[in-house]
């Protein structure tokens, strides 16, 4: 089912089902190595190519697209003036060195901050992108997983940004840990795939992991979602039984944040739809090398 879904999606987007020499990316992007075999699973750049560039910046996304990553992921918050700005954290302390709370600041105020230098001086001057700016970087056929970091109040502006972007629904899946944000996104944007994000905790006494696949599937079904996007690097929860349960429910399954090629190979073999990683181009090479 995974291969089928991915092939259908690629057809809809006018892109090949694998990253190959025929990849329809901008002419400025380098051609993929002829020796590299394609990864059979969709590899998603977590906050862009965030291993090599400052997370959630235009530099990070443009690096990802130049490396032919098929998809990126980003996080959004609402500003004081009602715009969506891209940041993982609700404030700027970690990436700008100065704490400005996004919901209490305007886009103009946030745009004064340098969110590139913390990664490397060569990225000095990188700014927090607005969602509009981030979406404008997508090359033909590229996809952006849009993570709503707040509640359903983000959805009206999200819908406006998506409309302005002119991108196809398949290019812009929506993800959130907040089930109500997922529910509102699916209701407002029914053609967009929406996946419920989840991570897992192990009970010290019973050793059992929670939530279970069935619990997550029930929530996702209730909100009329397209599937799950779950933590699969630190926990062993995603296994053959988990994948089987999600597939039996007719749902899609994405995973995060996997930088270990051995775990990525395991997940690809299990048949997940996608793997989110901080090193998308590098991981695709690792996956391709084994095929």
Match 């901008």 to its residue by tokens: 26
Contact indicator for 141, 15 with CB cutoff of 8 Å: yes
52 near ligand G3P, judged by CB under 6 A: no
Contacts of 281 (CB under 8 A, 6+ apart): 45, 49, 64, 67, 68, 69
Among residues 69, 73, 114, 126, the one that binds ligand G3P under rule CB under 6 A: 73
77 binds, options ligand G3P, Ca ion, none, Cβ within 5 to 8 A by partner type: none
Contacts of 95 (CB under 8 A, 6+ apart): 54, 55, 56, 87, 89, 115, 118
Least distance (Å) between residue 254 CB and Ca ion: 12
Exposed, middle or buried: residue 34 (CB in 10 Å: 0-12, 13-18, 19+)?
A: exposed
**What is the rounded distance in angstroms from the CA atom of residue 150 to the CA atom of residue 154?**
7
CA atoms within a 13 Å half-sphere pointing along the CA-CB vector of 47: 19
**What is the rounded distance in angstroms from the CA atom of residue 231 to the CA atom of residue 148?**
16
Q: Identify which of residues 249 and 280 has a Cβ nearer to Ca ion in the complex.
A: 280
Residue whose C-beta lies closest to ligand G3P? 256
46 near ligand G3P, judged by CB under 6 A: yes
Site for Ca ion in 68-97 (CB under 5 A): 75
276 near ligand G3P, judged by CB under 6 A: yes
Q: Identify which of residues 42 and 75 has a Cβ nearer to Ca ion in the complex.
A: 75
Q: Identify which of residues 62 and 278 has a Cβ nearer to ligand G3P in the complex.
A: 278
85 near ligand G3P, judged by CB under 6 A: no
143 near ligand G3P, judged by CB under 6 A: no
201 to 240: interface string for ligand G3P, x by CB under 6 A:
----------------------------x-----------
55 near ligand G3P, judged by CB under 6 A: no
What string of H, E and C letters represents the secondary structure of 157-169?
HHHHHHHHHCCCH
The binding site for ligand G3P (CB under 6 A) comprises 46, 73, 75, 88, 147, 197, 229, 256-257, 276
């Amino acid at each position: 089912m995974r291969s089928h879904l991915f092939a259908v999606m690629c057809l809809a987007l006018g892109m090949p089902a694998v990253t190959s020499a025929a990849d329809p990316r901008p002419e400025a992007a380098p051609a993929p190595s002829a020796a590299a075999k394609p990864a059979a699973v969709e590899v998603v750049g977590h906050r862009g190519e965030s291993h090599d560039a400052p997370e959630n910046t235009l530099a990070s996304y443009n690096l990802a697209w130049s490396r032919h990553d098929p998809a990126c992921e980003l996080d959004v918050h609402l500003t004081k003036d009602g715009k969506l700005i891209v940041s993982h954290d609700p404030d700027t302390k970690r990436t700008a060195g100065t704490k400005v709370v996004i919901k209490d600041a305007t886009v103009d105020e946030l745009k004064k901050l340098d969110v590139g230098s913390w990664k490397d001086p060569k990225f000095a001057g990188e700014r927090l992108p607005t969602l509009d700016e981030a979406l404008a970087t997508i090359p033909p056929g590229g996809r952006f997983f849009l993570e709503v970091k707040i509640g359903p109040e983000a959805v009206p502006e999200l819908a406006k940004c998506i409309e302005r972007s002119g991108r196809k629904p398949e290019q812009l899946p929506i993800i959130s840990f907040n089930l109500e944000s997922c529910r509102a996104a699916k209701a407002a944007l029914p053609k967009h795939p929406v996946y419920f994000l989840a991570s897992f905790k192990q009970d010290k006494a019973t050793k059992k992991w929670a939530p279970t696949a069935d619990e997550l599937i029930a929530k996702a079904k209730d909100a009329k979602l397209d599937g799950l996007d779950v933590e699969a690097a630190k926990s062993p929860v995603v296994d053959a039984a988990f994948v089987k349960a999600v597939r039996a429910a007719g749902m899609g399954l994405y995973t995060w944040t996997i930088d270990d090629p051995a775990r990525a190979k395991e997940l690809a073999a299990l048949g997940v739809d996608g793997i989110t990683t901080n090193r998308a181009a590098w991981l695709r090479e690792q996956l391709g090398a084994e095929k």
